[in-house]
């Protein structure tokens, strides 16, 4: 079964890198350029996993993650935060929204794939 991953990221270059990395491993990728669009796609598409940028104009990633966890239809979808904010307090704030992972930018494609594989299948990939 092909897993669908929703990437919510306001930087087109980062979205493209994530899409290429995931599609290379056979994942289906849908993309949103901001938090509101991403939340709408999560509601309509019910992806298997969400990759979520923290710092975005309008609705930020912390708000998107908290909203998803509060909605029964979305609460079980694993969410991984992606952020340039990497201090212990910032990581803790992200994890406190109920997400399953937090990657600090810049991260390697191998690191991203390993986390995605672990969350979706319980196994690690040799990227």
Task: Report the pLDDT averaged over residues 1-19.
Answer: 94
**What's the predicted TM-score (pTM) here?**
0.92
pLDDT digits (tens, 9 = 90+) for 33-71: 999 999 999 999 999 999 999 999 999 999 999 999 999
Distance CA 56, CA 11 (A): 9
Q: Which DSSP state fits 86?
A: -
In which band, very low, low, confident or very high, does the pLDDT at 85 lie, cut at 50, 70 and 90?
confident
Domains of the chain, residue spans: 4-121
Answer yes or no: are the C-beta atoms of 10 and 53 closer than 8 Å: yes
**Do residues 55 and 83 touch, judged by C-beta distance below 8 A?**
yes
Percent with pLDDT over 90 in the chain: 81
Of the candidate CATH numbers 3.40.50.2300, 3.90.105.10, 3.90.1570.10, 3.10.180.10, the domain formed by 4-121 belongs to 3.40.50.2300
């Amino acid at each position: 079964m092909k897993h669908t991953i929703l990437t919510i990221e306001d930087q087109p270059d980062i979205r493209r890198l994530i899409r290429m990395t995931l599609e290379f491993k056979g994942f289906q990728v849908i993309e949103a350029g901001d938090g509101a669009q991403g939340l709408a796609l999560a509601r309509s598409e019910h992806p298997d996993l969400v990759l979520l940028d923290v710092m975005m104009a309008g609705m930020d990633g912390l708000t998107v993650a908290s909203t998803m966890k509060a909605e029964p239809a979305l609460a079980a979808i694993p969410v991984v935060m992606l952020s340039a904010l990497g201090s212990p307090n910032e990581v803790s704030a992200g994890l406190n929204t109920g997400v399953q992972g937090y990657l600090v930018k810049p991260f390697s494609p191998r690191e991203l794939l390993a986390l995605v594989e672990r969350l979706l299948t319980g196994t690690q990939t040799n990227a």
